[in-house]
Amino acid sequence: MFVLEKVVYKDIINLDYLEVKSGVVTCLVGESGAGKTTLLRLLNRMKDIDSGKILYRDTPIEQFDPIAYRRKVTMLSQTALIFPGTIEHNLQVGLELTGRPACSLAELEEVLEIVQLPKALSEDSETLSGGEKQRVALARLLLLQPEVYLLDEPTATLDEETELKVMTRFLAKVKEAGGSVIMITHSTKLVEQCADQTIMLKKR
Ligand SMILES: Nc1ncnc2c1ncn2[C@@H]1O[C@H](COP(=O)(O)OP(=O)(O)OP(=O)(O)O)[C@@H](O)[C@H]1O
């Protein structure tokens, strides 16, 4: 799916060759400061490489229209972006901003159930805890159905047991729909249970 050849970005990333497979869960691991977030940003074209090549499905990523590309290859950052208003609004807003039709209440309830957030759609999002906000952001992303989910420590604020439950359901749903996931995590258990492929980045 992604092929990276001789990719250099500042003195942070220097990869000779890397291939990331389609339709699977790839965990990106490595010590703090190793460049994991930077690599996701390069894959998402939030930053451009200094030299080398990044191919997505055999096409150099700079050849895609950036907005269309980010709809296919979507990144969820470490801090959940929450808009003022209800959970329902926060779930629908992604679809609205990308010009897509709204989902039914039943579909919204289904995604909340997948991320294990037993809250009413009418509840105010701003009163949610950090971990609950992260789950709202994950549920919103699920509704957008990108081809590739780039997740930067999506459940880092959850306790280990909840993290495993949420991610097992979430990843199963993504795979069922044919999506691919590249996920940064510091949880060894999550890697053991969910990774089909693991990439270890080392500090330079
Ligand atoms: N735009 C930038 N310019 C210069 N240095 C940067 C830039 N962005 C990140 N860095 C540096 O690059 C290194 C890698 O940062 P990055 O956030 O990618 O690491 P990480 O592996 O995701 O770390 P963590 O696990 O702590 O989130 C860090 O030393 C950081 O300070």
DSSP string, 83-115: -SSBHHHHHHHHHHHTT-PPPPHHHHHHHHHHT
Cα(161) to centroid(ligand 1), Å:
28
Q: Which of 31, 36, 202, 204 to mutate to test the pocket of ligand 1 (most atoms within 8 A of CB)?
A: 36
**Cα-flanking dihedrals φ and ψ of residue 197, to 5°?**
-140, 145
Ligand 1 neighbourhood includes 10 CB (under 6 angstroms): yes
Looking at residue 203, what is its pLDDT?
84
| Structure-token pair, residue 135 | 């789950």
Q: Which domains does the chain have, with CATH numbers?
A: 22-45+65-200 (3.40.50.300)
Whether 36 and 184 have beta carbons less than 8 Å apart is answered as: yes
* Average pLDDT along the chain, 204 residues, taken 10 residues at a time: 98 96 97 96 97 98 96 94 97 94 97 97 96 96 97 93 96 97 96 97 86
Cα(125) to centroid(ligand 1), Å:
30
Q: What number does the ligand 1 atom closest to the CA of 30 have?
A: 21
pLDDT tens figures, 52-72: 999 999 999 999 999 999 999
Looking at residue 28, what is its pLDDT?
98
Cα(190) to centroid(ligand 1), Å:
22
Question: Torsion angle of alpha carbons 12, 200, 114, 164, nearest 10°?
Answer: -130
Looking at residue 122, what is its pLDDT?
98
Cα(5) to centroid(ligand 1), Å:
21
Looking at residue 17, what is its pLDDT?
97
